[in-house]
Amino acid sequence: MTAQYSFTATCPKGLENVLADELRSLGASVEREQPAAVRFNADLTMAYRVCLWSRMANRVLLNLGQTKIADAEGLYRAVVDIPWEEHISPTGVLWVQFSGTNQEIRNSQFGAQKAKDAIVDRLRKATGARPDVDKRDPDLSVMLRLHRDSLEIAIDLCGDSLHRRGYRTHIGAAPLKENLAAALLVRAGWPAIAEEGGALLDPMCGSGTFLVEGALIAADIAPGLMRDSFGFERWLNHQNDLWLPLREEALQRRTEGLQRSLPEIRGYDADAKVLFAAESNIARAGLDKHVRVSCRPVAAFKVPSHRPVKPGLVITNPPYGERLGEQEDLRETYAELGRQLKQEFGGWKAAIFTGNPELCHSTALRSHKQYKLFNGSLPSQLLLFEIHQQRDGEAGGSGERIKPRLSEEAQMVANRLQKNLRTTGKWAKKNGIDNYRLYDADLPEYSAAIDLYQSVDGQAFAHIQEYRAPANIPEEKARSRLSDLVRATRHVLDLPSRNISIKERRRHSHKESGSQYQKRGHGAAESAQAFWAEEYGAQFEINLWDYLDTGLFLDHRPVRQYLKSISSGKKLLNLFCYTATATVQAVLGGCTGSTSVDLSKTYQAWAQRNFRQNNMDAYRHQLIEADCLQWLEAAQQNRRGHYDVIFLDPPTFSNSAKMEGVLDIQRDHGVLIRQCMALLTPGGTLLFSNNLRSFKMDGEIQEEFSVENLSSRLLDKDFQRNPKIHNVWEIKAP
């Protein structure tokens, strides 16, 4: 009788029952399923067959023993008792992998070292020689797993993981493992569809893994046939007379399979670069005559028309975004996929594999079956759909853009935005204002600001900036509310995703540092797209994506207008000038000369672009890159009585590494104001602004100079929900 052995086939978590069914179909006797593995009994021929033909397994392990151990000595004795001389030559190369811990063995590296010592000692005692130890290309890989006090010892028959078929040398940004792709195809019913001649299409194929795995199934090609070798080929008990006939049989089946007429198998992707990877992988698999890929966006996804195509399976693993901004950007992609499936693929089946099932709601398709799986360590789902034929006159049948329905919560936000468009929007239009705040935490639980911008060429943009959620609001709840707000914004404004910027605030752990906002590569930000917007005759460069602020403080709109009104024929000093928008407005108001100071190279370059766009004379209007505190100190010597108007708009607090000191505006504003007043001509005006909500003007300053609080006067309608957004004081010598 042929000897029977105990084996364990490992697999991605969630695929245990698929793997068990596959093992049974190959003829193995399944003993039991366990997490990420299936134990089965078989002879050596069947083990070879599983290594060659399994589309689902990661590894096939030959179980050598299972025993109870309590400590390191017990581990050593359990391993040294196995006749390793029957498995590896004493001059061979060994590698030992160990996983798990117990109360005595608390480090897997220590466990691996102890097991390796036991194997080497056994071989040295039996043969007088010892093997080398190296993880690269070993002759024997030993796998040990410790769970509580139970130790399993096995030999890896595969060598490299079975998911590495050998055809994929080029991969995309988020590759799907080959065995997971094959399992998803099986779950979606592809083998039966292929048998009936149905087509396989992937509208976002990336490096083509679904396509190749689908073709291997359709053509009856063993997935292990392209591998250079298996681990068992250097195992001392390997029997080549059992292995070679299996390989010859697989070669013959591949030849016969490729001679048949295969179903239509096609992939598409909007990224031409990733299609190069797909083409290379398809060719390496020997399938370039049977599988085709084309550069095409999801919006153009249709049934191939070059020949009659039988309805089959559309399967895809679309991107799902790690951050909210990316996820919101992808909603339109999912919605477009849903529209194309409903419009073009009636009678087909569809399968979407995603790590963010919530995005699938944007397809407006209802899945009839869902499978919870893992993509690596990421929880994911496979959703299956039946695409029904559309009836005449059914929504979406003519290709019109259908807005997805909003949740009850998102609809509440949408109602508020529509109300604000009718009131604030009407006010802005009447006053010739193109860039304004539409929403400012009007609903306290939806804590964010939404600003609308319009470019000079008529494009509309939205900038969504999340506020800090209260500490008692779970972060997941805050993210959900922000997602509702973003969805409502897109619904009401009907803007393309590339015209919406989202800056999401996240909580830091005590170990984290840096900006509280996540910089968002959302839509146009990928190419650092900026645009020009107009304000009262001036044009300013706006960048909604790359920085925390956009280049234009909208709340200072009336402050800039006031500066414009008092600057005719005068010289201006703009300190902490940012992108110098206030200077530009003053110049348009007749300012004859100006000096704008800021420490940031980025803002100085930005200000220079604003100057050029507005045809400002670079000789009369200076930009100075300097620490404003140092510059003010030096200016006391040579610029006293030099300026007619000064705009002082410092940050609330600054400890920039480039600055000599630390600026605290509540503490330091008196010194700054006195220094500025010394630079004014007689009768000159200092306009002092800051955004410290608790700010209190120094009483001595109010006694020393003529001080008027203009804060409420210089606040437009779109910021009146937030009256403490800035303080503005006009200061003159008495």
Q: Does any domain span residue 503? A: yes
Residue whose pair of structure tokens reads 């529509």 in the numeric block: 418
Whether 141 and 14 map to the same domain: the answer is yes
Whether 382 and 417 map to the same domain: the answer is no
Show the domain range for 293: 178-219+262-386
Of 527, 542, 566, the domain-final residue: 527
Q: Does any domain span residue 54? A: yes
H or E element in which residue 716 lies: none
Q: Does any domain span residue 144? A: yes
Whether 125 and 209 map to the same domain: the answer is no
Q: Does any domain span residue 324? A: yes
Q: Does any domain span residue 540? A: no
Of 386, 418, 443, the domain-final residue: 386
Predicted pLDDT of residue 323: 60
Q: Rounded to whole angstroms, how far apart are CA atoms 399 and 343?
A: 7
Whether 215 and 133 map to the same domain: the answer is no
Quick one: tokens of 661?
């000191």
**491 three-state secondary structure:** helix
The CATH number given to whatever domain includes residue 35 is 3.30.2130.30
Please list, in sequence order, all residues whose beta carbon lies within 8 angstroms of the beta carbon of residue 131, skipping any fewer than 6 positions away: 88, 89, 90, 91, 92, 93, 94, 119, 120, 123, 139, 140
Whether 591 and 692 map to the same domain: the answer is yes
Whether 213 and 342 map to the same domain: the answer is yes
Whether 292 and 381 map to the same domain: the answer is yes
Q: Rounded to whole angstroms, how far apart are CA atoms 106 and 128?
A: 32
Quick one: tokens of 39?
């134990």
Whether 598 and 646 map to the same domain: the answer is yes
Q: Does any domain span residue 50? A: yes
H or E element in which residue 683 lies: strand 680-690
DSSP state letters, 547-605? SSS-S--GGGHHHHHHHHHH-TT-EEEEES-TT-HHHHHHHHTT--EEEEEES-HHHHH
Q: Does any domain span residue 226? A: no
Residue 349 · residue 378 · CB < 8 Å: no
Predicted pLDDT of residue 322: 63
The CATH number given to whatever domain includes residue 461 is 3.30.750.80
Q: Does any domain span residue 151? A: yes
The residue among 174, 231, 158 whose CA lies nearest residue 10 is 158
Buried b (16+ CB within 10 A) or exposed e, 679-701: bbeeebbbbbbbbbeebebbeeb
Q: Considering its fold, how many domains does the chain have in total?
A: 4
One-letter identity of residue 182: A
Residue whose pair of structure tokens reads 């991969």 in the numeric block: 171
Whether 198 and 339 map to the same domain: the answer is yes
Of the chain, the end-to-end C-alpha distance in Å amounts to 113
Of 478, 511, 527, the domain-final residue: 527
Whether 146 and 182 map to the same domain: the answer is no
DSSP state of 97: E
The residue among 410, 421, 206, 236 whose CA lies nearest residue 319 is 206
Buried b (16+ CB within 10 A) or exposed e, 431-466: eebbbbbbbbbbeebbbbbbbbbbbeeeeebbbbbb
Whether 435 and 557 map to the same domain: the answer is no
Residue whose pair of structure tokens reads 């550069």 in the numeric block: 295
Task: Report, in angstroms and rounded to the nearest whole number, the Rg of the chain calculated over CA atoms.
Answer: 35
Quick one: tokens of 415?
């109602």
Instruction: Kindly list the averaged pLDDT for each block of 10 residues, start to end, along the chain of length 734.
Output: 87 94 96 94 96 97 94 94 94 94 88 94 92 91 92 95 89 78 97 96 95 97 94 95 96 95 95 91 95 94 89 94 67 89 94 90 90 90 88 46 71 95 96 96 92 95 89 80 89 86 64 37 47 96 92 97 97 97 98 96 96 95 95 92 96 69 89 96 96 94 96 95 93 89
Whether 579 and 647 map to the same domain: the answer is yes
Predicted pLDDT of residue 404: 58
Quick one: tokens of 198?
């149905």
The CATH number given to whatever domain includes residue 595 is 3.40.50.150
